[in-house]
Every structure is written in C-alpha cells, then in structure tokens.
C-alpha cells in the first residue's frame, strides 16, 4: 500500500472505502452536495490544504464536476490538486442500475486507474521533477483554444487522453500540465501550431 502525503477529497463513503484499500492517506468525504452547506467541513478542508495539500477526486459525471468546481473556488488554488478519472460506461456492483449519465464513479474504478489518476495529479509518493509548463497561449497556437474548430479539437484530444468530457479549457490546461512538460506533450501527440 502506497503512503500519500496529501489528503484526498472524495464524494462519499464508497469512494473512501475503495481508495483506502489501495493508498494509505487521509480521505475526506464531502457527503456529495452536502459540502456546499457544511461550513465547518469546508474550513477543515482549508486547514488540511494549508498543512498537507489536498487532492480532489470526484466522479466524472456532471454532479462530480459541480462539487469539484465548488471546491476549486472555495479552497486555496496553490494547495489543491485535481485527479480525474476517465469516462467509463457501466454501473458499480452494489447498484441495481447505472447512474444518471451511465458512468462508473470513483468506487467503480480499477486500482491501477485510481493510482494513475493520483500520480498524474501530483500525488507525493516520491519527489516529482519540475516540468516546462503548457500555457493558454500554447493551446491557442495549437488551435485548441480561440479558433472556430477549437472545441472539436479539444474533444478529440480529451478522448485520446481518456479525460472526462466535461472539462473546461482551463481544466484541460491544468491536467495537461500535470501530465506533461511542453516538449513531452508536443512530441507525444505530434502537435504543431496552427498557421
């Protein structure tokens, strides 16, 4: 079992149970949308973020993104990392029917997918090397932002990277910088700037 320095924020107890079987970390539940009314829990998350750092790991459905975006605006940006699971169709074993969007949540993901998501988010299992960051201007130069066909190009890229479909351009930029240096990204996906 891998020990993690940062605490992990998840939506519910089944997510916590799944993660606690693969990582040794402080795992905090939001209680779903309950976090939006729980000032004490939000204050605690801020304190933990300042002391240890937080990794937010929500489901890849619309509800998960509402919770993630709420926390993103309420917590110190420099102390919070975001781990993303891919869109995988299916239902969790304990449920009789799939969720509203038909996607597996954190609890339904395989351990290797969760470990990869945490690692890509910058989980401190080991020291990670510094990378040359990808910027908003790079996305523009590559045609992934600010161009007539940018949305289609972003969707294709997110699909190739197995990223959730609800990502904004800013969230995509954050994830790309978690995964790659500028050189790695350009060479792996053989992207060249649009004319």
Residues 68 and 97 in one domain: yes
**Contact in structure between 141 and 193 (CB atoms under 8 Å):** yes
The pLDDT of residue 194 is 56
Decide if pLDDT at 192 tops 70. Answer: no
Decide if pLDDT at 113 tops 90. Answer: yes
Neighbours of 114 (CB within 10 A): 22
**Contact in structure between 193 and 140 (CB atoms under 8 Å):** no
Identify the band that residue 80 occupies on the pLDDT scale cut at 50, 70 and 90: very high
> Could you tell me whether strands 27-29 and 80-83 are parallel, antiparallel, or unpaired per DSSP bridges?
unpaired
Last residue of a domain, one of 93, 120, 147: 120
Give per-residue pLDDT as tens, 172-188.
Answer: 887 787 667 788 888 87
Average pLDDT score, the chain: 86
Measured in degrees and rounded to the nearest 5, phi and psi for residue 98 equal -65, 165
Neighbours of 156 (CB within 10 A): 11
Neighbours of 162 (CB within 10 A): 13
pTM of the model: 0.65
Measured in degrees and rounded to the nearest 5, phi and psi for residue 63 equal -65, -40
Q: How many domains does the chain have?
A: 2
Q: Which of 32, 25, 34 is nearest to 10 (CA)?
A: 32
Range of the domain at 140: 136-188
Residues 140 and 116 in one domain: no
The pLDDT of residue 131 is 58
Residues 98 and 48 in one domain: yes
**Average pLDDT rounded to a whole number, residues 1-24:** 91
Tokens matching residue 144: 């992934």
Q: Is residue 156 part of a domain?
A: yes
Tokens matching residue 178: 């978690």
Between 45 and 181, the higher pLDDT residue: 45
Give per-residue pLDDT as tens, 126-174.
Answer: 544 455 788 999 899 888 899 999 999 998 888 887 776 777 888 788 7
Residues 99 and 28 in one domain: yes
Residues 19 and 67 in one domain: yes
Residues 96 and 156 in one domain: no
The pLDDT of residue 126 is 53
Tokens matching residue 117: 């998501």
Round the CA-based radius of gyration of the chain to a whole number and report it.
17
Q: Is residue 93 part of a domain?
A: yes
Decide if pLDDT at 112 tops 90. Answer: yes
| 89 contacts: CB under 8 Å, gap ≥ 6 | 98, 102, 103, 104
Cα of 23 vs its chain's centroid, Å = 17
Decide if pLDDT at 5 tops 80. Answer: yes
The pLDDT of residue 128 is 45
Q: Which of 87, 111, 105 is nearest to 1 (CA)?
A: 111
């Amino acid at each position: 079992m891998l020990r993690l320095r940062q605490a992990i924020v998840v939506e519910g107890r089944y997510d916590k149970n799944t993660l606690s079987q693969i990582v040794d970390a402080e795992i905090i539940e939001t209680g779903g949308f309950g976090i939006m009314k729980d000032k004490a829990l939000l204050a605690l998350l801020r304190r933990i973020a300042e002391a240890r750092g937080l990794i937010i790991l929500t489901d890849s459905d619309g509800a998960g993104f509402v919770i993630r975006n709420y926390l993103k605006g309420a917590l110190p940006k420099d102390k919070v990392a975001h781990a993303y699971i891919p869109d995988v169709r299916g239902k969790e074993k304990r449920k009789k029917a799939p969720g509203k969007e038909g996607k597996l949540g954190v609890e339904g993901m395989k351990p290797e997918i969760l470990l990869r998501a945490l690692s890509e988010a910058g989980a401190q299992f080991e020291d990670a090397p510094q990378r040359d960051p990808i910027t908003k201007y790079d996305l523009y130069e590559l045609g992934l932002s600010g161009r007539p066909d940018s949305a289609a190009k972003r969707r294709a890229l997110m699909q190739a990277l197995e990223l959730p479909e609800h990502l904004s351009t800013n969230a995509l930029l954050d994830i790309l910088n978690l995964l790659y240096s500028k050189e790695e990204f350009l060479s792996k996906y053989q992207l060249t700037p649009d004319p």
